Amino acid sequence: MDTYLIPTISQALQGEVQISGAKNAVLAVMAATLLADGISEITNVPHLKDMKTMSDVLRVIGCRVDGGPHTLRIDTRGANHLEAPYELVKTMRASFYVLGPLVARFGRCRVSLPGGCAWGPRPVDLHLKGLEALGASIKVTHGYVEATSNGPLQGGEFHFPISSVGATVNVLMAACLAKGKSILHNVALEPEIDALIDYLIGMGAKIKGKGTKVLQIQGVSSLTPGSGSTIADRIEAGTYLIAAAISRGRIKTTKMNPQHITALLDALQEIGCEIQTGPDWAIVDATKKTLKPTSITTLPHPGFPTDLQAPIMALLTTIEGISLVQDTVYDDRFTHIAELERLGAKIKLKGNTAQIYGGSPLSSAPIMASDLRAGAALVLAALVAEGETSLSRIYHIDRGYEDFETKFRSLGVDIKRVS
Ligand code: EPZ
């Protein structure tokens, strides 16, 4: 298993990073291609392990998936094995997105439950309840979800009790082929949902209410293959902008949409960074700034994203004073705390709120990544920890950050990957 060796940076990070396509947008759109018969295309795809995993899931179903390093061409004409096996679904939760399209298009499918992840259970009850509201009959046996429907799904109304990205994705896709009108309330507002809606409309879906909490879908009998580009990865962009703050440097992220990370930019400004933004770029400048502690609470979009909770915590450990970080989306997503403490951070966790006693110098230690965003956060902390830090299990980072080492090297980090 690969490990990163990360020496303390000798100077503040300076430079520019071009942001890749958003993996979480691609994963939903890849599943959406199952709604049509033919060859769909997706461009600006990041070259990441999660894309390979989802391609393998589609291949098991009978699709052909090919294309260049940043393009996917998905031919669904061979889709006939309506199953997503545990071996694949357990490695990537988003494989569960094939449930909605398969039952909507073929009237039956068998998809493994995704199981938990590094920080605890990840239920799918809202995915299932939403599909039942469209007339699917759902059975959960032996770790699999068996979904069937006699003829097409029926348009229905469903209120999501909590805002769920994945459940919104699954139910929205199914509603596109349901007979009649569906109304979905309290849907997730993440930019990846808007991107999926755009792609689905391009396939002939009839969806109203993009960007609002209520979606109205007029089902159609069939959709045509889609094609479209992928929005920039707001979490990748946020990670590099936090790197500017933690190193007290200046970084510009390009080919991204600063409107997708306003909560982060507001927090960094509150902390004392200078923020500049343009139509497709953002700059965080923390050079010679005295940064102040703050309180962060994660919320569904447009609130502060839970995926940047670990990275901002790494930053807060370097700021003199007491900061608070509360995660209201996943109240147990704190496996990175133990690793940050190994670097010398002083953090006290009470329920879903971490108290960070920032300012004490960090020093290198052998540490390990427990999930994608915790891994990125630990790299950020290692940049300013005295000595060379070794970070193991970086396969987590490979899942979600394209050209991670190359981009950090271009900023002046002498990061090395060793096997
Ligand atoms: C998506 O996961 C993202 N993954 C996650 O990013 C992200 O952390 C999360 O949204 C929140 O923004 C992808 O897009 C592939 P949710 P998802 O359903 O859809 C509860 C990354 O690092 N819930 O919005 O699984 C759930 O437990 C990954 O790229 C139910 O109770 O998240 C959580 O508390 C990690 N029942 C809350 O809703 C359900 O049926 C939000 O989860 C579904 C969710």
pLDDT in tens, 366-382: 999 999 999 999 999 99
The secondary structure of the chain, three-state, reads: CCEEEECCCCCCCEEEEECCECHHHHHHHHHHHHHECCEEEEECCCCCHHHHHHHHHHHHHCCEEECCCCEEEEEHHHCCCCEECHHHHCCCHHHHHHHHHHHHHHCEEEEECCCCECCECCCCHHHHHHHHCCCCEEEEECCEEEEECCCCCECCEEECCCCCHHHHHHHHHHHCCCECEEEEECCCCCHHHHHHHHHHHHCCCEEECCCCCEEEEECCCCECCCEEECCECHHHHHHHHHHHHHCCCEEEEECCCHHHHHHHHHHHHHHCCEEEEECCEEEEECCCCCCCCCEEEECCCCCECHHHHHHHHHHHCCCCEEEEEEECCCCCCCHHHHHHHHCCCCEEEECCEEEEEECCCCECCEEECCCHHHHHHHHHHHHCCECCEEEECCHHHHCCCCCHHHHHHHCCCCCEEEC
Q: pLDDT at residue 119 above 90?
A: no
Q: Which residues form ligand 1's pocket by a CB distance below 6 Å?
A: 24, 27, 93-94, 122-127, 162, 164-167, 188, 306-307, 329-330, 372-373, 400
pLDDT band at residue 206 under the 50/70/90 scheme = very high
Phi/psi-derived region of residue 100, left when phi > 0, alpha when psi is between -120 and 50, beta in every other case: alpha
* % of residues, the chain, pLDDT over 90: 96
Instruction: Provide mean pLDDT across the span 381-389.
Output: 98
Predicted pLDDT of residue 106: 97
CATH class belonging to 3-20+232-418: alpha beta
Compute the distance from residue 353 Cα to the ligand 1 centre, in Å.
19
Which of 23, 122, 336 for mutating ligand 1's site (highest number of atoms within 8 Å of CB)? 122
Mark 186-198 as b/e (b = at least 16 C-beta within 10 Å): bbbbbbbbbbbbb
User: Out of 37-51, 108-122, 209-223, which region has the weakest mean confidence (pLDDT)?
Assistant: 108-122
Task: List the domain boundaries for the chain.
Answer: 3-20+232-418, 23-229
What are the structure tokens assigned to 132, written together? 């039942």
Distance of alpha carbon 129 from alpha carbon 295, whole angstroms: 35
pLDDT-wise least confident of 28-32, 90-94, 251-255 = 90-94
Q: Does residue 157 have a pLDDT over 80?
A: yes
Topology match between the domains 3-20+232-418 and 23-229: yes
Q: For residue 298, what pLDDT is reported?
A: 98
Residues marked active site are found at 117
Tokens of 139: 């059975």
pTM above 0.95, yes or no: yes
* pLDDT computed for residue 120 by the predictor: 73
**pLDDT surpasses 90 at 121:** no
Assign a CATH topology to domain 23-229: UDP-n-acetylglucosamine1-carboxyvinyl-transferase; Chain (3.65.10)
pLDDT, mean of residues 163-181: 98
User: pLDDT tens, 33-63?
Assistant: 999 999 999 999 999 999 999 999 999 999 9
117 pLDDT exceeds 90? Answer: no
